[in-house]
Amino acid sequence: MENSDEKRLANAASPDSTTPASPPIMTSASTGIAPTVDRPTPPHSLRNEIRVWTRDLLIAIGLALVIIVFLYQPVKVEGTSMAPLLSDQERIFINKFVYRFEPIERGDVVVFWYPLDRSKSFIKRVVGLPGEVVEIRRGAVYVNEKMVPEPYVPPQYEDVSDFGPVRVPRDSYFVMGDHRISSNDSRVFGPVASRYIYGRAVFAYWPVDHFGSLSMTEASSK
């Protein structure tokens, strides 16, 4: 009896040889992730990337050219009638489509066909709008009996003579150069019909020291 009991105890204490051992439980400290090693870019991938960048650059240049050609037009200023805002031989861009979406406003620097010779273009500033009464008294501009501030006209460029009053016709604009004593403008050839106005000066690009946008604020600072 004792032998059989010892055998049973021995069998109970010995592990089951047919049962596979359970795998060890790995703790977070023992389960690390191998660091990613940067592999060199294959030559063909680098070539593809260069082609993509080149394509995107060419598309961007093409779009810029389309915008410049169809929306903006480079022009050269001849004369000093718009000094000090614009100087003789200065290069600027004009927006050719702005007045299809926006009205012409007082203070705009516009480019138009010269009413007395449509083969020539002039650039002047809008002073009077359709239906308004424009008058000049000792160089000061009055519109509908109210004086118009003109910070873009330096004192040395003022013309102290009188003019008017005149009423601006419908669909026409009274324009003047900032250099009043040497400007051929609406005081000479009359108001300009809106159909002759084909652009607004927006940006100067040459000479470099005049590089920047064109506005009434900048006109007074030049």
Q: Which residues are catalytic?
A: 81, 124
**Distance between CA 20 and CA 185 in Å, rounded?**
105
Helix (H, G, I), strand (E, B) or coil at 176: strand
DSSP category for residue 164: E
**Distance between CA 131 and CA 129 in Å, rounded?**
6
Helix (H, G, I), strand (E, B) or coil at 112: strand
Length of the chain: 222
Pair 82, 110: CB distance under 8 Å: no
